[in-house]
Amino acid sequence: MLKIRLKRAGRKSKPFYRIVLMENLTRRDGQSIDDLGFYDPITKILNFNKLLLHKYINQGACPTATVRNLIYKMLEETKN
């Protein structure tokens, strides 16, 4: 099963996350199938490729709860 989830990058006390498409059983920092965007929790910058995200969700990929909340936040910001 494919999941859209966060992959941690950055350094100690300065996290940076990539939004990636991975196999369900792959470890958190393991090999990803595709990069969909990134999230910086310190500066609150969120960016993702909407076309790729839409494509993989239509093909059956499931976003995790955290990624789902980030997507909703991004969509609300673009509406306003």
CATH class of residue range 2-79: alpha beta
- Give residue limits of the domains in the chain: 2-79
DSSP reduced 3-state for 39: strand
Separation CA 79–CA 50 (nearest Å): 14
Selection from 42, 50, 49, 27 nearest residue 6 by Cα? 27
pLDDT tens, position by position, 25-76: 988 888 999 999 999 999 999 999 999 999 999 999 999 999 999 999 888 8
With contact defined as beta carbons under 8 Å apart, do 79 and 19 qualify?
no
Selection from 1, 49, 59 nearest residue 71 by Cα? 49
Band of residue 16 on the pLDDT scale cut at 50, 70, 90: very high
